[in-house]
């Protein structure tokens, strides 16, 4: 299953970009990052059987293990792509949130959207590591 991060804003050459890339390179599943302008632009076409995850402060908070099990379920159900949408400073349109398969939150704090990319990349690496029984993740 393709893990596709679709993010508003250009990350450029920055510490956040380096951290994001460091985690994405470690993931054994296929990954892709698409950047959109802060406003406007259209989402890339999704693969058939794609899942849409919208990162939103009003979303569900999940433990790393719960997140891994959700990815596992999607993968095992034959989903071809999981798209993770990261908004700009003003967040997402209501219609995008309404159409999401999952609203995901990294907690009640407000995070810079460039840092959210690195946090998501790390959680994707952690989740795929959990599923591969890799010792990176330590429960409790």
Instruction: For the chain, give the longest Cα–Cα distance.
Output: 43
> Is residue 137, in this structure, part of any structural domain at all?
no
Residue of 10, 119, 1 whose CA lies nearest to 55: 119
> Is residue 21, in this structure, part of any structural domain at all?
yes
Q: CATH no. for residue 107?
A: 3.40.1280.10
> Is residue 31, in this structure, part of any structural domain at all?
yes
Q: Is 3 annotated as a binding residue?
A: no
Structural domains counted in the chain: 1
- What the block records as the tokens of 137 is 């993740």
Q: What is the pLDDT of residue 140?
A: 58
Range of the domain at 73: 2-111
What is the pLDDT tens value at each position of the chain, 140 positions in all? 999 999 998 888 999 999 999 999 999 999 999 999 888 878 888 788 899 999 998 999 999 999 999 999 999 999 999 999 998 877 788 888 999 999 999 998 888 888 999 999 999 999 999 999 987 766 75
> Is residue 140, in this structure, part of any structural domain at all?
no
Supply the pTM of this predicted model: 0.92
Q: Is 87 annotated as a binding residue?
A: yes
């Amino acid at each position: 299953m393709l893990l596709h991060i679709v993010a508003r804003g250009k990350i450029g050459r920055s510490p956040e970009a380096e951290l994001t890339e460091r985690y994405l390179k470690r993931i054994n599943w296929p990954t892709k990052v698409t950047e959109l302008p802060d406003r406007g632009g259209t989402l890339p076409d999704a693969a058939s059987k794609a899942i849409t995850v919208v990162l939103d402060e009003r979303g569900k908070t999940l433990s790393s293990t719960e997140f891994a099990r959700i990815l596992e379920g999607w993968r095992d159900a034959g989903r071809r792509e999981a798209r993770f949408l990261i908004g700009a400073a003003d967040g997402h349109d209501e219609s995008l949130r309404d159409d999401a398969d999952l609203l995901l939150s990294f907690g009640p704090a407000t995070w810079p959207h460039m840092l959210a990319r690195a946090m998501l990349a790390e959680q994707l690496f952690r989740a795929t590591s959990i599923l591969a029984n890799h010792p990176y993740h330590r429960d409790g």
